[in-house]
């Protein structure tokens, strides 16, 4: 578990104590409702609320507040802009560095080095814990952002392949 927690953005940016986060997780894993608001934010790998609100206001100026933004993303992901998708995928952090983006994948790879089952169990344990911490719509909004980006990329690839096929037919090439 420590590998995953140490990949969180606040630790990568030295905004949090690397010893404190795993200890907090262990202390509250069986009782997540007892977490403080600050620890809830830390264990969801989110920036402080002021940063979240500011980044949402910049990225999604047509939504009046965070809850409206989350509801839109949860219920109508096709209406999200690419910037809104990126914001949700970055968990409201805004622009992430390559190292910040890859840290979690690297941590999963380290766990898979022990065994794929261990990796799966550890990730599920973290996700189960976090599922008790999200605001209404938040978990769905974040998941939808990843799914919507995949849907759009797949659609673009299909369009490119169709365009190439049409060009080949027009030029008489088999």
Position 167 confidence tier, pLDDT thresholds 50, 70, 90: confident
Whole-number pLDDT of residue 170? 79
Q: Could you tell me the two tokens for 10?
A: 């606040």
pLDDT at residue 162 in the model: 73
Separation of alpha carbons 85 and 136, rounded Å = 18
DSSP state of 8: S
Instruction: Give the per-residue pLDDT at 174.
Output: 57
What average pLDDT does this structure show over 64-87? 95
Helix ranges (H only) for the chain are 2-5, 9-12, 20-28, 37-43, 49-59, 66-75, 82-89, 98-114, 116-131, 138-170
Q: What is the pLDDT of residue 1?
A: 92
Across 77-92, average pLDDT: 96
pLDDT of residue 158: 72
Q: Which of 41, 140, 35 is nearest to 92 (CA)?
A: 41
Run of H or E residues at 48 = none
52: nearest Cα among 39, 70, 32, 36:
70
How far the first Cα of the chain sits from its last, in Å, is 54
Q: Measured between alpha carbons, how far is 4 from 18 in angstroms, rounded to an integer? A: 11
Q: Has residue 57 got a pLDDT over 80?
A: yes
Q: What angle do CA 104, 108, 110 make, to 5 degrees?
A: 115
C-alpha torsion sign, points 35, 36, 40, 43: negative
């Amino acid at each position: 578990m420590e590998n995953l927690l140490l990949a969180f953005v606040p630790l990568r940016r030295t905004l949090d104590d690397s010893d404190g986060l795993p200890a907090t997780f262990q202390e509250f894993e069986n009782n997540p409702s007892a977490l403080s608001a600050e620890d809830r934010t830390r264990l969801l790998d989110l920036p402080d609320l002021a940063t979240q609100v500011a980044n949402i206001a910049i990225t999604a100026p047509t939504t009046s507040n965070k809850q409206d933004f989350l509801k839109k993303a949860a219920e109508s992901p096709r209406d999200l802009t690419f910037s809104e998708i990126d914001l949700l995928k970055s968990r409201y952090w805004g622009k992430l560095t390559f190292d910040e983006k890859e840290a979690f994948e690297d941590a999963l790879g380290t766990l898979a080095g022990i065994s794929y089952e261990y990796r799966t169990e550890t990730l599920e344990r973290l996700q189960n814990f976090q599922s008790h911490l999200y605001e209404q719509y938040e978990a769905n909004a974040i998941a939808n952002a990843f799914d919507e980006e995949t849907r759009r990329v797949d659609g673009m690839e299909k369009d490119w392949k169709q365009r190439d096929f049409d060009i080949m037919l027009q030029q008489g090439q088999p």
